[in-house]
């Protein structure tokens, strides 16, 4: 007999957009918005754990973000290092396992070591997988997967590419959320989001709270996920 309980998305992915605009509207430096964004992420992680989400993937810094003003980029790097030192013990205590996904070649040694230490410190946790995409791009991900297969001499197929992706350790996202009012993917999880349900929120990321997350989840629960099948096929499978 099928369960009547609302289905919680197993994997939620979020483009955390709007930090800079949040700060600008308050006549604050843009980095103040990013600091407030860390608070919002902390709140979101807690809410996902409470609601039974198994995987949360967030877009923290894209490969294109290096083109932003130098002071903003350096401020983001400092913020990341500080957040690692401050947040990792609490995340570990809450059962959160951290994965940092993205190109590390252009990062400082201090940053790379910080990422490795955070992953090691939380490796035993099982309550929530938190993927932080840092210096990441969807096109980079596809290219690095293809290059990895070519270097091994493996055939490039849909299955082999999928297994070589940077997020191969988790299932594809069920729900893709973007805050800030923009309605585009912005080179985030291009391969993995082929069948994700998209939800666009007008809230700037620092304003995104538990109620906003619940709104996105409710929208997800109201959709029929067909994966290429017909509605009749989906209904038949659900009934069985």
**CA 105 vs CA 60, 109, 126, 210, 240: distances in Å:** 17, 9, 29, 35, 49
136 DSSP β-pair partners: 62
Give the contacts of 209 (CB within 8 A, at least 6 positions apart): 40, 43
Closest CA to 6 of 47, 53, 38: 53
Q: How do strand 55-62 and strand 175-178 relate by DSSP bridges?
A: unpaired
**Could you give the residue numbers annotated as active site?**
17, 65
- DSSP character string of 178-217: E-TT--S-TTSSTTTTTTPEEEE-SS-GGG--HHHHHHHH
Inter-helix orientation angle 210-221/30-51, to 10°: 50
What element of type H or E holds 120? helix 109-121
Q: How many CB atoms lie within 10 A of CB 104?
A: 14
Distance of CA 40 to the CA centre of its chain: 14
Pick left, alpha or beta for residue 95 (phi over 0 → left; psi -120 to 50 → alpha; otherwise beta).
Answer: left
């Amino acid at each position: 007999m099928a369960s009547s309980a609302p289905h919680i998305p197993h994997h939620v992915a979020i483009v955390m957009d709007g930090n800079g605009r949040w700060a600008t509207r308050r006549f604050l430096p843009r980095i103040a918005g990013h600091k407030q964004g860390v608070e919002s992420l902390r709140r979101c992680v807690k809410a996902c754990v409470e609601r039974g989400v198994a995987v949360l993937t967030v877009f923290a810094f894209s490969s294109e973000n290096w083109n932003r003003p130098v002071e903003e980029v350096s401020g983001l790097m400092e913020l990341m290092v500080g957040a690692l030192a401050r947040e990792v013990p609490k995340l570990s205590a809450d059962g959160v396992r951290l994965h940092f996904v993205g190109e590390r070649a252009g990062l400082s040694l201090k940053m790379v070591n910080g990422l490795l230490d955070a992953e090691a410190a939380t490796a035993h946790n099982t309550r929530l997988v938190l993927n932080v995409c840092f210096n990441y791009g969807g096109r980079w991900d596809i290219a690095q997967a293809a290059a990895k297969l070519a270097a091994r001499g493996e055939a490039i197929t849909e299955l082999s590419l999928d297994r070589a992706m940077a997020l191969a350790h988790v299932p594809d996202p069920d729900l893709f959320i973007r805050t800030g009012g923009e309605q585009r993917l912005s080179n985030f999880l291009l391969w993995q989001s082929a069948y994700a349900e998209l939800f666009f929120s007008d809230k700037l990321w620092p304003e995104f709270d538990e109620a906003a997350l619940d709104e996105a989840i409710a929208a997800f629960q109201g959709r029929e996920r067909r994966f290429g099948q017909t509605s009749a096929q989906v209904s038949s499978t659900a009934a069985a």
